[in-house]
């Protein structure tokens, strides 16, 4: 969270016409909040095990949050994304990046097979797809995925 605060301050001090630095694995992209659940978590670039111990991770190959398209974010069901089990349609998701506060509203929730990548399909509108393992209290590698889709407010 301190890293995001520094990025926000730095972004405000720089001219927006300066080129952006490339994003590296593990870089802090922002903070995701789900107010009704009291959830707040850092969003990092990538989804390796080290990254997912520190926060939730942006799925490489999907647009960055705030860009046009379907941004994917993954997290562990037994840590940061455990609260998703209590999410409801129409709940708000806020994502703060160094340059903006993005607001999304949950459209749908569903359980899919672990190899179903259709939920991350490109879209024309700015959307957010959260993915975690399912069932939430399963011991060992979970056989399915719990998926949350939200559209920009």
Q: Which two tokens stand for residue 89?
A: 């349609």
Active-site hit among 14, 58, 76, 149: 76
Alpha-carbon distances, residue 108 vs 8, 127, 152 (angstroms): 31, 12, 13
CATH number assigned to the domain comprising residue 148: 2.40.260.10
Residue-range definition of the domain harbouring residue 59: 2-12+23-152
3 state SS of 109: strand
Confidence (pLDDT) at 15: 47
Specify if 51 maps to a domain.
yes
Phi-psi map region of 69: left, alpha, beta (phi>0 left; psi -120 to 50 alpha) = left
Q: How far apart are CA 51 and CA 36, in angstroms?
A: 25
Tell me if residue 14 is catalytic: no
DSSP 14: S
Instruction: Indicate the pTM of the whole model.
Output: 0.87
Q: Which two tokens stand for residue 41?
A: 């978590």
Tell me if residue 133 is catalytic: yes
Specify if 18 maps to a domain.
no
Active-site hit among 14, 58, 133, 149: 133
Specify if 17 maps to a domain.
no
Which residues are CB-contacts of 89 (< 8 A; sequence separation ≥ 6)? 106, 107, 108, 109
User: Which of 66, 45, 65 shows the shortest CA–CA distance to 55?
Assistant: 45
Specify if 41 maps to a domain.
yes
Confidence (pLDDT) at 1: 57
3 state SS of 116: coil
Specify if 33 maps to a domain.
yes
Specify if 144 maps to a domain.
yes
User: Which of 92, 91, 52, 87 shows the shortest CA–CA distance to 73?
Assistant: 52
3 state SS of 149: strand
Surface-to-core class of residue 72, CB atoms within 10 Å of its CB (0-12 exposed, 13-18 middle, 19+ buried): buried
Confidence (pLDDT) at 22: 85
Specify if 38 maps to a domain.
yes
Task: List the chain pLDDT tens, one digit each, 153 residues.
Answer: 565 565 555 555 554 555 566 899 999 999 999 999 999 999 999 999 999 999 999 999 999 998 999 999 999 999 999 999 999 999 999 999 999 999 999 999 999 999 999 999 999 999 999 999 999 999 999 999 999 999 999
Q: How many domains does the chain have?
A: 1
Specify if 28 maps to a domain.
yes
């Amino acid at each position: 969270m301190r890293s995001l605060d520094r990025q926000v301050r730095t972004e405000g001090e720089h001219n927006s016409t300066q080129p952006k630095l490339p994003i590296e694995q593990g870089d802090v992209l922002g903070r995701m909040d789900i107010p009704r659940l009291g959830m707040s978590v850092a969003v990092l670039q990538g989804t390796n095990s080290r990254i997912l111990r520190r926060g939730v991770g942006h799925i490489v190959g999907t647009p960055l949050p705030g860009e046009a398209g379907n941004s994917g974010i993954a997290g562990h069901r037994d840590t940061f994304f455990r609260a998703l089990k209590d999410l409801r349609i129409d709940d708000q998701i806020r994502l703060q990046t160094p340059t903006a506060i993005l607001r999304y509203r949950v459209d749908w929730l569903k359980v899919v097979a672990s190899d179903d990548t259709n939920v991350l399909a490109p879209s024309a509108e700015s959307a957010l797809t959260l993915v975690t393992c399912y069932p939430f209290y399963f011991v060992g590698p979970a056989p399915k995925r719990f998926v949350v889709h939200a559209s920009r407010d």
